[in-house]
A and B are shown apart, each in its own frame.
Chain A
Amino acid sequence: MAKRPLLGLFRDANAAADAGDALKGAGISENDYDFLTDSPYPEGAFGEREEKHRIYLFPFIGALLGLTSGVLLTSMTQFAYPLVTGGKPILSLPPMAVVTYEGTMLGAILFTVLGIMFESRLPKPKLGLYDNRITEGFIGVLVNTEEDQHNQVQELMTQAGAVEVKRET
């Protein structure tokens, strides 16, 4: 049976954390529920799973690519028009370093931003089950579960103090 979402809305962070405990107690996998909030709470405030990510790899890859592009751009443009000025070498490292440095940093930053989007799973074409009250301070507990468990999950959330439990229409 396909899993479908259920959204419980809580006024209070403690009640939302209680709902999380109740869901865990009922055997629902940690990967099947999520807490939606309007601001960042300290990690683990709701007893949620620890999110794994590889965001720190992205700036390194970007920096390497930026560095390579910078070196290629600065060296190849100088070789493309090899005019000796004042007896100085065609390839001059100090000025190359400046443009290469900027290229490296730009690469690192662009890839960090791409990494943030990728790791945050954004952009998301469809918002899915959601409630505008979440950005008014309500805490949403979004549970993905099989339909035959919906009534049980709804009851667990209501007992924990949910103001409303919404289903996908």
Chain B
Amino acid sequence: MQEGRILTPTEVNRDLLRSILDTPRWFWPVVMMLGLVVLAAAIVIGVMINRGLGITNLNRPVVWGFFITNFVFWIGISHAGVMLSAILRLAKAEWRRPATRAAEVLTIFSLMTAMTMPIIHTGRPWRILYWAFPYDFARGIWPNIRTPLIWDPSAILTYLTSSTLFVLIALIPDFAVLRDRTTGITHQVYSMLSLGWQGNARQWKLQIISGILLSALILPVFVSVHSIVSWDFGMAMAVKSWHSTIFAPYFVVGAVHSGVSAVAFVLILLRWAYGWQAYIRHEHIDALGRLLVVVATGWFYFFSMEVIFGIYGREADEIAVRSLQFTQWPVSAWTMVFVITTYFIPVSIWLSRYCRRNLWIMSIACISVNIGMWLERFLIIVPGLANRQVFTFSWNMYAPSIPEIIIVTATFALVAMLMLLFSRAIPLVPLYDIKEGDILKTEIKIGRRTVPAVYRED
């Protein structure tokens, strides 16, 4: 599992700070292009606030469409950070080192992006304050804590705060490296951010403990967030296909599946963009691929159970939704695409060692998972609402409008732009973690072979 050579601290600083100290030629044009997409969406949102939600195709009975699908999708992506960082840190998996920071930062930006979706979806974003913020605004009315729509912001804000603090604490030593390599105003900014970090034994001890302690504390939050997001649907008794007890674990595993695939793809992009071949190595992507086989199979098990138990009761409403999902054009075609792209294509790829170590093929597999997982959320939300139900006097299938498509597309541009801009200010591969890995790494001779070994502290 350790294929790279041991690097000196100077080499690590030079290579991993390249994204900050030198600007590649492609950087600003790419950021500007992404910025234009985000700007277009901002204009559309402005128009939507001015004209109302009528410019979308959201209407009875399908009142949750692209925005809420996208919300669940980005919440799912955000689960990668904690999955990789916390679980692998607690398990002391050596290969986590180059992946943790990018995963954690992806968590923060995807969470922030996810949060914008329901706010935009309300059509009157400022009213969110009245509905969700625990303050009575002099009207004597407080948020109704009995609804999952209030549990959601409490869970997401807890997760966002925790993930941000988790990243910031781990960044202090790296800010100190930047403080020592910069001059002028940049130096002053990094000096402030590094909080006077010296790197003494006490500070390092607390830094290591903080990684483990915060990981252990964030893990229960991570599980709760997507469980609570699933209860937005699972607690709704009126929509047959949503009211299911399996939704919480099904959503959590699905989130890990899409999130870890997204992290693998981001790592491949970073390796290519910044020339970090010595840090993000084939062995790391290979390890992620093997992990994903297990996660994807777990996800497929939950998916199968959800469908089988839905059909097994033979309730008319449930059968009608499944019939819409599996037999009626064009939803049945999307269902087919979703199952193939989420499970069969990527898992077939990940079963082969050659494919796991081929970055092009791995990229295709990871993108395939995320296309599938986006469709999965759409196919849970829309057919459930579009199904004819008792006391529903209007029904219609839903197709997104152009403004909805622009806004959803822009969220991908927004996350990419924020990741790129962030990579200009902080190292997306943790310097001290890599250096620690190199300190603990050595080679031992067993018989006629020299093999790599790692010392592990308890």
| A residues whose Cβ falls under 8 Å from a Cβ of B | 34-43, 46, 48-49, 51, 53, 55-56, 59, 73-74, 77-78, 80-81, 92, 95-96, 98-99, 101-103, 105-106, 108-110, 112-113, 116-117, 119-128, 130, 132, 134-137, 140, 142
A103 to chain B, nearest CB (A): 8
Known pairs A74-B145, A95-B151 / 9 extra A-B pairs, C-beta < 8 Å: A36-B198, A38-B435, A39-B9, A48-B201, A77-B145, A122-B196, A130-B198, A135-B177, A137-B435
Chain A contacts of B205 at CB under 8 A?
Answer: 40, 43, 51, 53
Chain B contacts of A125 at CB under 8 A?
Answer: 196
Identify which of residues 1-50 in chain B touch chain A, using a CB-to-CB cut-off of 8 Å. 8-10, 13
Is B8 a contact of A137 with CB atoms below 8 Å? yes
Kindly supply a per-residue 1/0 record for chain B positions 351-363, scoring 1 wherever the CB is within 8 Å of any chain A CB and 0 otherwise: 0000000000000
| B residues whose Cβ falls under 8 Å from a Cβ of A | 8-10, 13, 134, 136, 140-143, 145-147, 150-151, 154-155, 157-158, 161-162, 165, 169, 172-173, 176-177, 180-181, 191, 195-210, 213-214, 217-218, 220-221, 224, 228, 431-432, 435-436, 439-440, 455, 457
Is A123 a contact of B195 with CB atoms below 8 Å? yes
List of 6 A-B pairs having minimum Cβ-Cβ separation, nearest first: A124-B196, A137-B9, A39-B435, A123-B195, A77-B142, A132-B180
Give A35 to B158 CA distance when docked, in angstroms.
36
Is B199 a contact of A134 with CB atoms below 8 Å? yes
Is A43 a contact of B155 with CB atoms below 8 Å? no
Is B199 a contact of A73 with CB atoms below 8 Å? no
Give A48 to B374 CA distance when docked, in angstroms.
53
Is B213 a contact of A55 with CB atoms below 8 Å? yes
Contacts A34-B201, A37-B199; A73 near B218 (Cβ below 8 A): no
25 A-B pairs (CB sep. < 8 Å): A36-B200, A40-B204, A40-B207, A40-B436, A41-B439, A55-B213, A56-B213, A77-B142, A77-B145, A81-B142, A96-B145, A99-B150, A99-B154, A103-B154, A103-B158, A105-B158, A109-B214, A109-B221, A110-B161, A113-B214, A116-B207, A116-B209, A125-B196, A127-B191, A127-B196
Contacts A37-B199, A40-B208; A137 near B146 (Cβ below 8 A): no
Is A122 a contact of B143 with CB atoms below 8 Å? no
Contacts A74-B145, A137-B10; A42 near B455 (Cβ below 8 A): yes
A91 to chain B, nearest CB (A): 11
Give A138 to B9 CA distance when docked, in angstroms.
9
B160 to chain A, nearest CB (A): 10
Chain A contacts of B151 at CB under 8 A?
Answer: 95, 98-99, 102
Contact of B176 among A34, A59, A77, A135 (CB under 8 A): A135
Is A59 a contact of B209 with CB atoms below 8 Å? no
Contacts A77-B134, A125-B196, A126-B196; A39 near B439 (Cβ below 8 A): yes
Chain B contacts of A140 at CB under 8 A?
Answer: 199
Give A95 to B79 CA distance when docked, in angstroms.
23
Chain B contacts of A110 at CB under 8 A?
Answer: 161, 165
Contacts A41-B204, A80-B136, A81-B142; A122 near B197 (Cβ below 8 A): yes
Contacts A95-B146, A102-B158; A109 near B9 (Cβ below 8 A): no
Is A39 a contact of B457 with CB atoms below 8 Å? no
Chain B contacts of A123 at CB under 8 A?
Answer: 195-196
Give A135 to B173 CA distance when docked, in angstroms.
9
Main secondary structure of the interface of A (DSSP, over half): mixed
Is A120 a contact of B203 with CB atoms below 8 Å? yes
Contacts A51-B205, A109-B162, A134-B199; A80 near B169 (Cβ below 8 A): no
Contact of A36 among B134, B165, B199, B214 (CB under 8 A): B199
Q: Write the chain B residue with the least CB distance to A118.
A: B206
Q: Write the chain B residue with the least CB distance to A124.
A: B196
Give A48 to B201 CA distance when docked, in angstroms.
8
Chain A contacts of B158 at CB under 8 A?
Answer: 102-103, 105-106, 109
B157 to chain A, nearest CB (A): 8
Is B9 a contact of A98 with CB atoms below 8 Å? no
Is B202 a contact of A122 with CB atoms below 8 Å? no
Chain B contacts of A51 at CB under 8 A?
Answer: 201-202, 205
Chain B contacts of A113 at CB under 8 A?
Answer: 165, 169, 210, 214
Give A103 to B134 CA distance when docked, in angstroms.
12
Chain A contacts of B210 at CB under 8 A?
Answer: 55, 112-113, 116
Is A102 a contact of B140 with CB atoms below 8 Å? no
Give A137 to B6 CA distance when docked, in angstroms.
13
Is B10 a contact of A124 with CB atoms below 8 Å? no
Q: Write the chain A residue with the least CB distance to B147.
A: A95
Give A55 to B209 CA distance when docked, in angstroms.
9
Contacts A55-B209, A102-B154; A92 near B146 (Cβ below 8 A): yes
Is A38 a contact of B177 with CB atoms below 8 Å? yes
Contact of A98 among B143, B154, B161 (CB under 8 A): B154
Chain A contacts of B197 at CB under 8 A?
Answer: 122, 124
A144 to chain B, nearest CB (A): 12
Contact of B217 among A41, A49, A77, A105 (CB under 8 A): A105
A79 to chain B, nearest CB (A): 10
Is B432 a contact of A105 with CB atoms below 8 Å? no
Is A122 a contact of B134 with CB atoms below 8 Å? no
